[in-house]
Amino acid sequence: MGFPSDLEIAQRARLAPMSDIAARLGLDDDLLEPYGRHVAKIDTAALARVADRPRGRYVVVTAITPTPLGEGKTTTSVGLAQGLARIGARGLLALRQPSMGPTFGIKGGAAGGGYSQVVPMETLNLHLTGDFHAVTAAHNLLAALIDNHLHQGNALGLSLKDVSWRRVLDVNDRALRNVVIGLGSPEDGVTRQSGFDITAASEVMALLALARDPDDLRSRLGRIVVGLDRSGSPVTAGDIGAAGAMSVILREAVKPNLMQTLENTPALIHAGPFGNIATGNSSVIADRIGIHLCDYLVTEAGFGADMGAERFFNIKCRVSGMVPDAAVLVATVRALKAHSGRHRVVAGRPLPAEMLAENPDDVRAGAANLVKQVENVRIHGVSPVIAINAFPGDHPSEHAVIREIAESMGARVAVSTHFADGGAGAVDLARAVVEACEEPGAFRFLYPDDVPLTSKIETIATRIYGAARVEYSADAASQLARHEANGFGHLPICMAKTHLSISGDPSLKGAPTGHALTVREVRLSAGAGFVYPICGEMRTMPGLGATPAALSIDLNDDGDVVGLF
């Protein structure tokens, strides 16, 4: 028999009662709100209840620039937490919740993989406790109130062409990217152009992830800018009168979800902001609770270190006040070979045969990306640990090249076989992380709050992406000036760009330098608390492929989920 599927492994798991998982964390019973047998909400009263307990170490898992297939950050995060338990440390995971859009699209699931998964994986991938639906409902309530305001006379003087709040849905549906609403009779609303984004791209999701507590969530909802009035001044959700009802819809979604791994390691699953246009990190609330419940809190940042980790350091850590003790940088042989420029990897297709052949020279040719991403971590004063996520087709000579490069940079490195071996395969990685956390820290932000938005953008572009300069479209320049004039210049930057290159051009592999980063548009997420420049074309509503995963997902005669990869 071949290696079992992720779903087969997950369905064979022996799960511990949630009361036992909570007891391992020292969570009082009255803080636990069961959702079925194997999931529970944690009441946000835990924020105050655990605040006086000792603080654990804080570890972020990031990666080199990934291929379209991904390099296994979630699987590595799960494996690391299990590996920490194997060496006698209390590990705790804090991860984003997967979106159902990609689950039914090409991805097929995002609960980890192999013997390093969060379980039940069907529950995690298929809307969990309904947090995504609550975000969808809160977002669309605001949209409905905006259009009702326009229909009822538009007392706030909203400019129709400057209403920026669209609708959302947790489904990949390209046909909804651009729509015209209000067609029909005058009673059907004001006719205008709008569209849909996927729920993970909602600003409500981003601010849920960045809120420090329920009161902060309520304040952030009121600060959402939905458009401009005829004089060019921002109009907020608070002005519309929507923030209170939105916070009511989110009253359960603000509570983190408690689950477990295949080896019964506790896991906090909360929020799921898009990795391209938002932070791509799990919630501040979960981290603020979790850091006091363990020896090591392991969290994950989306995409490569130039994206998710940079936002983790400069946005999430600013909000939370928490300082990372170490960063795990996931690297794979296949990604480094792809960065050599000699191979092309396409999502949904098998790897090229020549890419699977033993070729340490290809690995070395693509190593510039690894070197740059290590530098991107160190720029922030954080100690990196390189995790070689081992695949069955790898060759020892190829791992040896990665180890040689890592050691030449003075970085710790470990080969991890957590996918095939669970926590036992991540013991070396866990030991390396423990060592890294003992190093004296000197964490620093990339830029201060009080410099202009253009300065923040250019600092990220030149220091993290290796760009020589930033070029702004006329629209982007005027939008930046307006955001500064409207009092948003103090906000951090969340760069929206391709995840397939350190640069803004997905075709540039390795660690390109001397290029220009083109900013074509600059949008505001005032409630979430960041400004996001858009570099290139960013799809905020994905489409389905020719054979989406949804076509293979079903229930068998016993009522069990099948076809979820």
Q: Looking at residues 526-530, what average pLDDT do you find? A: 98
Give the span between the Cα atoms of 496 and 114, in whole angstroms: 31
Residue 41, classed as helix, strand or coil, is: strand
pLDDT in tens, 498-508: 999 999 999 99
Query: What residues have CB less than 8 Å from 154, skipping those under 6 apart?
Result: none
- Higher-confidence residue: 346 or 60? 60
Q: What type of residue is 108?
A: G
Contact 127, 561 (CB under 8 A): no
Contact 306, 465 (CB under 8 A): yes
pLDDT at 211 over 80: yes
Q: Looking at residues 454-483, what average pLDDT do you find? A: 98
Q: Looking at residues 500-523, what average pLDDT do you find? A: 95
The pLDDT assigned to 105 comes to 85
Number of H helices, E strands in the chain: 23, 25
The pLDDT assigned to 108 comes to 61
pLDDT in tens, 363-373: 999 999 999 99
DSSP state of 493: B
By C-alpha distance, which of 295, 314, 260, 563 is closest to 423? 260
pTM beyond 0.85: the answer is yes
The pLDDT assigned to 201 comes to 96
Contact 18, 37 (CB under 8 A): yes
Q: What is the CATH number of domain 131-249?
A: 3.30.1510.10
What are phi and psi for residue 535, nearest 5 degrees?
-115, 110
By C-alpha distance, which of 540, 543, 537, 501 is closest to 519? 537
What are phi and psi for residue 366, nearest 5 degrees?
-100, 5
The pLDDT assigned to 1 comes to 59
For residue 465, count other CB atoms closer than 10 A to its CB.
26
Largest Cα separation within the chain, whole Å, is 71
CA 292-295-299 angle, 5° bins: 80
For tokens 């500064």, the residue is 484
Angle, helices 73-86/427-437, rounded to nearest 10 degrees = 80
Query: What residues have CB less than 8 Å from 513, skipping those under 6 apart?
Result: 466, 467, 468
Class of domain 6-126+255-323+343-352+414-437: alpha beta
Q: Any long-range contacts for 2-8 (C-beta under 8 Å, 24+ apart)? A: 3/114, 3/392, 3/420, 5/565, 6/109, 6/111, 6/112, 6/113, 6/114, 6/117, 6/121, 6/564, 6/565, 7/109, 7/121, 7/122, 7/561, 7/562, 7/563, 7/564, 7/565
Q: Looking at residues 344-350, what average pLDDT do you find? A: 80
pLDDT at 529 over 70: yes
Residue 19, classed as helix, strand or coil, is: helix
Beta strands 554-555 and 412-416, pairing class: unpaired
Fold designation for 453-534: Formyltetrahydrofolate synthetase; domain 3 (3.10.410)
pLDDT in tens, 106-139: 766 678 999 999 999 999 999 999 999 999 999 9
- 321 pLDDT band, cuts 50/70/90, is very high
The pLDDT assigned to 534 comes to 96
For tokens 């960065």, the residue is 339
Mean pLDDT for all residues in the chain: 95
Q: Retrieve residue 540's tokens.
A: 């905020």
pLDDT in tens, 373-408: 999 999 999 999 999 999 988 999 999 999 999 999
Run of H or E including 105 = none
Q: Retrieve residue 77's tokens.
A: 């995060």
CA distances (Å), origin 53, targets 21, 46, 164, 333, 470: 18, 11, 43, 41, 45
> For the chain, what are the domain ranges?
6-126+255-323+343-352+414-437, 131-249, 453-534
The pLDDT assigned to 539 comes to 87
By C-alpha distance, which of 553, 561, 556, 480 is closest to 107? 553
Q: Looking at residues 518-522, what average pLDDT do you find? A: 97
